[in-house]
Amino acid sequence: NAGVTQTPKFRVLKTGQSMTLLCAQDMNHEYMYWYRQDPGMGLRLIHYSVGEGTTAKGEVPDGYNVSRLKKQNFLLGLESAAPSQTSVYFCASSSFGSPGSTYEQYFGPGTRLTVT
Partner 1 sequence: AQSVTQLGSHVSVSEGALVLLRCNYSSSVPPYLFWYVQYPNQGLQLLLKYTSAATLVKGINGFEAEFKKSETSFHLTKPSAHMSDAAEYFCAVITGGYNKLIFGAGTRLAVHP
Residues near partner 1 (CB under 8 A): 4, 31, 33, 40-45, 48, 50, 58, 90, 92, 94, 97, 102-110
Reference 14, options 63, 85, 73; nearest CA is: 85
Q: How many helices (H) and strands (E) does the chain have?
A: 0, 11
| Cα–Cα distance, 7 to 35 (Å, whole number) | 15
Residue 1 vs 102, nearer CB to partner 1? 102
Residue 16 vs 57, nearer CB to partner 1? 57
* Bridge partners of residue 23, in order along the sequence: 6, 74
| Cα–Cα distance, 105 to 32 (Å, whole number) | 9
Give me the least distance between CB of 6 and partner 1, in Å please: 8
Give me the least distance between CB of 20 and partner 1, in Å please: 19
Give me the least distance between CB of 16 and partner 1, in Å please: 28
Residue 6 vs 85, nearer CB to partner 1? 6
